Structure 1
Amino acid sequence: MITQTEATIFLAEQRGCSQTDRFRSFHNFNFGSYQDEHRQPFGCLRVFNDDTLAGETSLKMNIDENTEVILLPLVGAVEYKNSLGETGFVEAGQVQIFSATQGMEYEITNPYSDELVNFLQIWLSGEKEGFTPGLTQTTFDLQQRNQLLSLFSTQSTGYIGKFGGREEGIYEVQSPETHGVFIFVIEGAFEVQNRLLHPRDGLSLQSVEAVEFEALSNDAILLLLEVVF
């Protein structure tokens, strides 16, 4: 691994939490009633929520500025509808990018009667001018192991990968001067830039030209975002 660089670790057990008997959301950054001076947005990455919905439960979200909403199911599938009149399903192995202008809203529903669903909601601030609302949904295959697979490419970019134990990887940052990198471990354990990360831990990095990582367990899954500052 390369020499240690300046970074911020977001430990899973130190995340903010909103919870009812039907819904639970863990927050890596300030969201709703959870406010912490050390959890300000990371560049254009404003929201990174790890959500679980009980059966036949819905969650409605309102957008307060132009935003790229990334919806990434991890377990099960969710039903969605939004201000564009779009409806449908997103399931594990798919990612949805909803380009939402200020004032739009969307709703996520667990379509199952007695199963939990788990998904990530990620909000990236969009451009103030020339921002066009729209919806894109793509599929990825984690059977393509030991490599980072592209999830989306807007102003920012996102990747996901499943790695075997002791498999190593390196990500070359596209714009080190103006971009930062946020890492989130979905499953397993990784060493990233000499930091040990367990499931649902996060790591933010700035002013780095490359990010090196090594999977420390089999079938370990990593999410990597390169975001604009």
Structure 2
Amino acid sequence: MAQTVIHKADTRGKADHGWLNSYHTFSFSGYYDPSRVHFGALRVLNDDTVAAKQGFGRHPHDNMEIISIPLEGDLQHEDSMGNVAVIKKGDIQVMSAGTGIYHSEYNKNNDQLVKFLQIWVFPNKRDVTPRYDQISLNPADRHNKLQQILSPSADDEGVWIHQNAWFHIGHFDAGVKAEYTIKDQDNGVYAFILSGNVSINGHSLSARDGIGIWETDKLDITADTEAEFLLMDVPMTVRL
């Protein structure tokens, strides 16, 4: 029988730093809940809003796969590998921190917020050579279907990471249904609702709610209103 955990939007951790408003689905920084440290290999799911002319100064990471999904505005990225780039809605950014990197993220706009998801996934191998990639996807390709944005393979659609994980985004009209088959029998799926109302395996979810489902092979998805959502198919056991 499928196992399920639901995290309603208003139960998330919150940090308001003035320039940064961040909601934490899982324990992060000053927010700690022993029952919400991770979902399998999914370690961090932060829902961040960065004020104009503000950002994250240069800081380090290692041995983590870091994925950024812009939702609104654009964010400038710089890192110790020499990359300087801007990511915006429709882009997917990935870093394999591996043996160690430094990076910064900054909203250079004078009057526009930046909203983005920052996601950390435990890798399946340690101390890899750090790398950076970003791609631009066509949001029309997620209209009433699931658009793959991440996988374990550089030859597949989307970006790739050092983990047996697949991410998809769907933007469905009201009433549209879909079935998602979990990619590996050892995986589960964490779904995060970006907007609207969605039912997954009979559970009603609203914007910014999350649901984790495992020990099953598929999800039944119905958009109860126009809705956008992210599916993160990840191993339930972390092996390093």
Q: Which residue of 2 aligns with 1:90?
A: 87
Q: Which residue of 1 aligns with 2:200?
A: 192
Moved more, 38-47 or 126-135: 126-135
Q: Which residue of 2 aligns with 1:205?
A: 213
Deviation of 1:217 (Å) = 0.8
**Matched ranges for 1:142-221 at <5 A:** 142-144=139-141, 145-154=143-152, 155=163, 156-176=165-185, 178-218=186-226, 220-221=227-228
Deviation of 1:207 (Å) = 1.0
Q: For residues 132 and 169 of structure 1, what CA distance do their matches in structure 2 show?
A: 38
Q: For residues 99 and 158 of structure 1, what CA distance do their matches in structure 2 show?
A: 16
Aligned with 1:143: secondary structure? helix
Give a deviation string over 1:135-171, Cα, whole Å, max 9, x none: 1212222223111111111221111111000100111
Root-mean-square deviation (Å): 1.4
Give a deviation string over 1:57-96, Cα, whole Å, max 9, x none: 0114432x41111000001110001121111100001101
Q: Which residue of 1 aligns with 2:13?
A: 16
Is residue 57 of structure 1 aligned with residue 54 of structure 2? yes
Q: For residues 153 and 132 of structure 1, what CA distance do their matches in structure 2 show?
A: 18
Q: For residues 20 and 40 of structure 1, what CA distance do their matches in structure 2 show?
A: 22
Is residue 7 of structure 1 aligned with residue 4 of structure 2? yes
User: Given the alignment, which residue of 94, 97, 103 partners 1:100?
Assistant: 97
Gaps of at least 5 residues in structure 1 are: none
Gaps of at least 5 residues in structure 2 are: 153-162
Is residue 111 of structure 1 aligned with residue 120 of structure 2? no
Q: For residues 174 and 131 of structure 1, what CA distance do their matches in structure 2 show?
A: 24
Q: For residues 77 and 148 of structure 2, what CA distance do their matches in structure 1 show?
A: 23
Identity %: 30
TM-score w.r.t. length of structure 2: 0.89
Cα–Cα, structure 1 residues 162 and 32, in superposed 2: closer, same or farther, change >3 Å?
same
**Matched ranges for 1:20-35 at <5 A:** 20-35=17-32
User: Given the alignment, which residue of 226, 229, 235 partners 1:222?
Assistant: 229
Give a deviation string over 1:5-26, Cα, whole Å, max 9, x none: 3211111111001111111110
CA contact (8 A) 1:142 1:161 kept: no
Deviation of 1:102 (Å) = 4.3
Q: For residues 168 and 183 of structure 2, what CA distance do their matches in structure 1 show?
A: 13
CA contact (8 A) 1:66 1:127 kept: no
CA contact (8 A) 2:168 2:231 kept: yes
Q: Which amino acid in 1 is paired with 2:18?
A: D
Q: Alignment length, in residue pairs?
A: 223
Q: For residues 182 and 222 of structure 1, what CA distance do their matches in structure 2 show?
A: 11
**Matched ranges for 1:60-71 at <5 A:** 60=57, 61-63=59-61, 65-71=62-68
Deviation of 1:199 (Å) = 0.4
CA contact (8 A) 2:63 2:126 kept: no
TM-score w.r.t. length of structure 1: 0.93
CA contact (8 A) 1:52 1:118 kept: yes
